[in-house]
Structure 1
Amino acid sequence: MLVDYMDLAGTEIVNSARAAAYALARGVPVQCDPCPDIAAAVGDMPYVDPVTDDAPWYDAAVPESRNVLGILGLAVAGFDSGTITRTPVQLVGDGAMIGAARHQQREIAYTVLLIATDECALSYGLEWLSVAVQGSSCPSCTGDELCVFSCCPVDGQRELRHLYDVGLLDGPQVTGTQYLANGAVLATVTFSLVAGRPWIYHEPLDTGGDWVPLGSGDLVPSTDPDQVYQQCLQPEPCAADPLCPPPPLPPQPPVPRPLCYPTGLDNFRRSRVGVSPLVQSSWLETVPVLEVRVGSQDMRRLLVRFWTSQDGSCEGDLDPCAACTDINIGYLPAGSTLRLDGRVQRAVVECQQVPIGTATSTPTIYGPRGGLFEWPVFSCPTGLCIEVWSRADDTAPDATARVLLVPRADAG
């Protein structure tokens, strides 16, 4: 992973190109050959000085801030190793049960060079850095987003990587200080972060992720999307002796159905999104991000269903028994926006409440037939067909939705 750039919670912390440009302009010699296109990749103009560029650390109320020349990346560790771990359990006889594999947290250690023109600026730079690496100021947050590049960026999209639920593990520690003849000070600083979500995420696949109008989708009359599951055949065990049947099992209690889970026949609006296998990596698994803009009236009985598709097409009638999974949500209020994010495995509904602001809440999500919802992960590059259903009478003409697919890796 490239050491020359790092952004935490929307604040640029490491930018070797910025630091090298400012140091060169102030006559501070640094041994650095940063990527030449970082400024363009992050949407910046060519770097001039901290005041003109409004550098992340610049504060008009603190004169010393104009003499901080930036943070140059020296080394980073923690991206190039996987996070899978398992604990084998020894058997009484030979061997062991290898146990379930799980991904543990990812720990990332940075070594950087803080450049300042004098000791006062260095002191301020360390103050700023100690606050910036703490991330956002929200005390209830589970962590922040970390953005880095996998290599020297060209367009800033293909090389961009994201980590989520990231927080400070060990604060900045100065491990060395160098004083130059012109009064400049170079401080070597280390700090480490921890990512609660250990995967390294790419940008979403280019799947034509435009917003799909739901109000003008195909009309599917008098349908119960769950009823078709009753016709699905289950494989029968073939090793049982028909002449020696097993003893009958005691009767099972009925499976409780959630009271608010919508059932029965309804008229639906159905929209489809196809994902070509040509845009998917042969090795990386993907997770979905679902966004729904409800529009001008309440939405009820929202269903999103996923199928594998060899060519990414959604033609003809699709077999519900072959569906990968369902996402069912019974109710979304008018004017709200749903974001169901497989990267952080969280769902949130945002509602604008004028003049108070935005209220957020967690929707109730059901899996197939009202069962337990499990976050889907697609590990094979077979292409996908995605259907979005909503009850026709409760789908606003201006309701829209989109589904993004995001590749992820365990090392980079």
Structure 2
Amino acid sequence: MLRGSLACGAGACGGDDLEFMTCCPTVPAGPGECCPGPCTSQTCGAGVFRTLRDVALLAEPTVQQRITGCACCPGELRQIQFQLVAGRPHALRPAVTVAEGVHWPPPTPDDECVQWSTDPGCLDEAGECAAQQPQPCPLDPNCPPPVLPTLPLPDNPCLCEPFTRRQVCVEIPENAAPIWADLVPLLEIYSGSGILRNIRFRFYPNPFGAPYEDLDPCSWCSEINISYLPSGARLTMDSTRRTIYVQCPGRADTPAEQIVSGPQGRPLDWPVLECGIPYLACISADSDTIAADASVTLRTIVREA
């Protein structure tokens, strides 16, 4: 049992998933009090199961006590002690599906017509959002702060802004997580019958449940960019393990961190949704590359400290 389900070798020694119960559920006195029909540990204790990631054995089992002569249990019983360690510190609730197999809307005439701007002062979206940020108070002009050197940051040169995007948004409800815990997404993208380029996820805090058109376009709190997916591929981003991989038909699962980045091609900052408020998740991609059968699935997982 303590060996887990993962065979050692090829990087599989990082630990396994451990499912446990936070308390011993109360078994009802009679049928129907917990759920229709006979009650089981799964149906009566559905709310108390948690999962720990990357769990491994820290100290081998040792026998603490031997019990013999039990009338109901012939033979010898042994009380055993052992220690486990979890590589990920959070206890995870079961995943909740927010949206499954959602397709992008069909193209509109606006997707075919690009309006060009010849204004030399025109800013892109990132520049407009930066210009809206409040400026700091002016300090002593005779004693300016020291100028720090600009540090180089890695970026994704394959990421570019397409002429037109198509977008679909899904709501993450307020009761998806308690206020004292946080929420992380599990994303799945299927490219369908064509390649998919310049995919972008944005998460917007939406405490008043406003539609996307009424939200400040600069108010997103997390952004994920995926530069490319081949035809028939499925990308999975697991925020609980912080792993990204692509599945292609007839091929082995492939790590895909190199095609995923944060805002403006910068390193990815894994999204964490907090404060127990509703969010709006909006997924867009290059309109010219979205196949009719391309789809997105979003699940959320509550993390408890």
Normalising by structure 2, we get a TM-score of 0.79
The number of equivalent residue pairs is: 273
Equivalent in 85, 99, 105 of residue 209 of structure 1? 99
Structure 1 residue 218, shift from structure 2 partner = 7.5
User: Match for residue 390 of structure 1?
Assistant: 285
| Code of the aligned partner of 1:359 | D
| Code of the aligned partner of 2:295 | T
Structure 1 residue 216, shift from structure 2 partner = 3.9
User: Match for residue 81 of structure 2?
Assistant: 190
User: Match for residue 33 of structure 2?
Assistant: none
Structure 1 residue 146, shift from structure 2 partner = 0.9
User: Match for residue 253 of structure 2?
Assistant: 359
Segments of 4+ moved more than 6 angstroms? 217-220, 253-256
Determine whether 1:375 maps to 2:261: no
Distance in 2 of aligned mates of 1:223 and 1:407: 43
Residue pair 1:148, 1:162 contacting (<8 A) in 2 also = yes
Residue pair 1:133, 1:171 contacting (<8 A) in 2 also = no
Residue deviations 1:198-235, cap 9 Å, x none?
11111234x643221136488863499x9311112222
Within-5 A mapping of 1:157-306:
157-180=46-69, 183-205=74-96, 208-214=98-104, 216=106, 221=111, 222=114, 227-232=124-129, 233-241=132-140, 244=142, 246=144, 249=147, 258-263=156-161, 265-306=162-203
Distance in 1 of aligned mates of 2:109 and 2:283: 12
Distance in 2 of aligned mates of 1:201 and 1:251: 41
Residue pair 1:305, 1:325 contacting (<8 A) in 2 also = yes
Q: Pick the structure with greater CA Rg.
A: 1
| Code of the aligned partner of 2:91 | I
User: Match for residue 22 of structure 2?
Assistant: 150
Distance in 1 of aligned mates of 2:110 and 2:180: 37
Determine whether 1:136 maps to 2:1: no
Indicate the SS of the match to 1:316: helix
Normalising by structure 1, we get a TM-score of 0.59
**Sequence identity, in percent?**
29
Per chain length, whose mean CA-contact separation is higher, i.e. which structure has more relative contact order (CA < 8 Å, sep 6+)?
2
Distance in 2 of aligned mates of 1:282 and 1:247: 40
Compared with structure 1, are the counterparts of its residues 352 and 143 closer, same or farther at alpha carbon in structure 2 (3 Å cutoff)? farther
Residue deviations 1:390-412, cap 9 Å, x none?
112211211111222211111xx
Task: For structure 1, list consecutive stretches of 5 or more residues without a partner in the other structure.
Answer: 1-128
Distance in 2 of aligned mates of 1:223 and 1:275: 33
Within-5 A mapping of 1:59-98:
none
Indicate the SS of the match to 1:158: helix
Distance in 1 of aligned mates of 2:269 and 2:257: 14
Residue pair 1:214, 1:271 contacting (<8 A) in 2 also = yes
Equivalent in 324, 329, 339 of residue 236 of structure 2? 339
Indicate the SS of the match to 1:235: coil
Compared with structure 1, are the counterparts of its residues 306 and 236 closer, same or farther at alpha carbon in structure 2 (3 Å cutoff)? same
Residue pair 2:171, 2:280 contacting (<8 A) in 1 also = yes
Structure 1 residue 177, shift from structure 2 partner = 2.4
Residue pair 1:223, 1:266 contacting (<8 A) in 2 also = no
Structure 1 residue 317, shift from structure 2 partner = 4.8
User: Match for residue 299 of structure 2?
Assistant: 404
Residue deviations 1:268-303, cap 9 Å, x none?
221101122133312111111111122111111110
Residue pair 1:219, 1:392 contacting (<8 A) in 2 also = no
Distance in 1 of aligned mates of 2:143 and 2:151: 23
Residue pair 1:274, 1:313 contacting (<8 A) in 2 also = no
Structure 1 residue 373, shift from structure 2 partner = 0.9
Structure 1 residue 314, shift from structure 2 partner = 3.2
Distance in 2 of aligned mates of 1:257 and 1:223: 28
Residue deviations 1:57-105, cap 9 Å, x none?
xxxxxxxxxxxxxxxxxxxxxxxxxxxxxxxxxxxxxxxxxxxxxxxxx
Indicate the SS of the match to 2:100: coil
| Code of the aligned partner of 1:307 | Y
| Code of the aligned partner of 2:93 | H
Distance in 2 of aligned mates of 1:256 and 1:187: 56
Within-5 A mapping of 1:90-109:
none
Structure 1 residue 335, shift from structure 2 partner = 1.4
Residue pair 1:304, 1:388 contacting (<8 A) in 2 also = yes
| Code of the aligned partner of 2:19 | C
Distance in 1 of aligned mates of 2:86 and 2:146: 50
